[in-house]
Chain A
Amino acid sequence: MKELFDDYKDKLPTVVLEEIEALAESRNLNKTQVKKVIELAYEEYRNSMIEPGESVGLISAQSVGEPGTQMTLNTFHFAGVAEFNVTVGLPRIIEILDGRKNISTPMMEIYLVEPYSKGKDIKTIAESIKQTQFKDIVKEINLDITEATLEIKIDFEKMKRLGLNEAKLGKVLEKSLKGFTLKLKDDTLTLKSKGKQDNIAELYKLKEKIKSVYVSGIKGILQVLPVKREDEFVIVTAGSNLKDVMKLEYVDKTRTTTNDIFEIQALFGIEAARQAVINEVYNVIENQGLNVDIRHIMLIADVMSFSGKVRGITRYGVVSDKSSVLARASFETPIKHMVEAALTGEVDPLTSVVENVMINQAIPVGTGLPELISKVK
Chain B
Amino acid sequence: MSEVFLNGKFIGVVSDAKKLTDSFLEERRKGKIHYSINVLYEGALDQVNIESSRGRAIRPLVVVKDGKPMLTDKHIEQIEKGELIFSDLVKQGVIEYLDAMEEESALVAFFEGELTPEHTHMEILPLAIVGLCTSLVPFGNFNQSTRLNAGSKNQKQALGLYAANYLVRMDMDVNILHTPQLPIVKTIMHDSSEYEKHPSGQNVVLAILSFDGYNMEDAILLNKASIERGLARSTYYRPVISEELRYSGGLIDEISIPDKDVKGYKAEHDYRMLEADGIIHPEAVVAEGDVVIGKTSPPRFLSSLDEYNLTTSSRRESSMTLKHGEKGVVDFILLTENVEGNKLVQVRVRDQRIPEIGDKFTSRHGQKGVVGLIVDTPDMPYSASGIVPDIIFNPHGIPSRMTMSHLIELLGGKAGALSGRYIDGTSFESENHEDLRKELASLGFREDGTETFYNGRTGEMFKAQIYVGNMYYLKLKHMVANKVHARARGPIQLLTRQPTEGRAKEGGLRLGEMEKDTFVSHGATMVLKERFDSDKVAVPVCVKSGLIGYYDKRRDRLVSPIFGEGADMEYVEMSYAFKLLLDELKSLGIYPKLILKEKY
Stretch at the interface among A81-89, A97-105, A364-372: A364-372
The reply to whether B590 and A339 form a contact with Cβ atoms under 8 Å apart is: yes
Interface membership of B168, Cβ < 8 A: no
In angstroms, Cα B437 to Cα A274, docked, is: 70
The reply to whether A367 and B523 form a contact with Cβ atoms under 8 Å apart is: yes
Interface membership of A184, Cβ < 8 A: no
Residue of A nearest to B533 (CB): A360
In angstroms, Cα B25 to Cα A126, docked, is: 58
Residue of A nearest to B573 (CB): A360
Question: What is the interface residue range for chain A against chain B?
Answer: 20 to 34
The reply to whether B526 and A55 form a contact with Cβ atoms under 8 Å apart is: no
Q: Provided the pairs A53-B523, A58-B521 are in contact, do residues A347 and B595 lie with their beta carbons within 8 angstroms? A: yes
Contact pattern, A 52-66, Cβ under 8 Å of B = 1, otherwise 0? 011100110110000
Interface membership of A229, Cβ < 8 A: no
Residue of B nearest to A61 (CB): B517
The reply to whether B526 and A367 form a contact with Cβ atoms under 8 Å apart is: yes
Chain A residues with CB under 8 A of B516: 357
Interface membership of A181, Cβ < 8 A: no
Q: Provided the pairs A58-B517, A357-B516, A372-B600 are in contact, do residues A342 and B590 lie with their beta carbons within 8 angstroms? A: yes
Interface membership of B578, Cβ < 8 A: yes
Closest Cβ of chain B to A341, distance in Å, is 8
Interface membership of A338, Cβ < 8 A: yes
Interface membership of B10, Cβ < 8 A: no
In angstroms, Cα B574 to Cα A358, docked, is: 9
The reply to whether B520 and A367 form a contact with Cβ atoms under 8 Å apart is: no
Interface membership of A353, Cβ < 8 A: yes
Closest Cβ of chain A to B596, distance in Å, is 12
Q: Which of A359, A360, A365 has the most chain B CB within a 10 Å cutoff?
A: A360
Interface membership of B563, Cβ < 8 A: no
Partner of A365, one of B520, B591, B600: B520
The reply to whether A360 and B517 form a contact with Cβ atoms under 8 Å apart is: no
In angstroms, Cα B518 to Cα A61, docked, is: 11
Chain B residues with CB under 8 A of A58: 517, 520-521
Partner of A54, one of B523, B528, B529, B588: B523
Chain A residues with CB under 8 A of B535: 360
The reply to whether B578 and A59 form a contact with Cβ atoms under 8 Å apart is: no
Contact pattern, B 200-226, Cβ under 8 Å of A = 1, otherwise 0? 000000000000000000000000000
In angstroms, Cα B61 to Cα A252, docked, is: 68
Residue of B nearest to A335 (CB): B588
Q: Which residues from chain B sit less than 8 Å from chain A, CB to CB? A: 516-517, 520-526, 528-529, 532-533, 535-536, 573-575, 577-578, 581, 585, 588, 590-591, 595, 600
8 pairs of A and B residues whose beta carbons are closest in the complex? A366-B523, A368-B525, A360-B575, A342-B590, A376-B600, A359-B578, A367-B525, A58-B521
Q: What are 21 A-B residue pairs whose CB atoms fall within 8 Å in the complex?
A: A53-B523, A55-B521, A58-B520, A61-B517, A62-B517, A338-B585, A338-B588, A342-B585, A353-B520, A358-B575, A359-B578, A360-B532, A362-B525, A362-B529, A363-B520, A366-B522, A366-B523, A367-B523, A367-B525, A368-B523, A375-B600
Q: Which residues from chain A sit less than 8 Å from chain B, CB to CB? A: 53-55, 58-59, 61-62, 338-339, 342, 347, 353, 357-363, 365-369, 372, 375-376
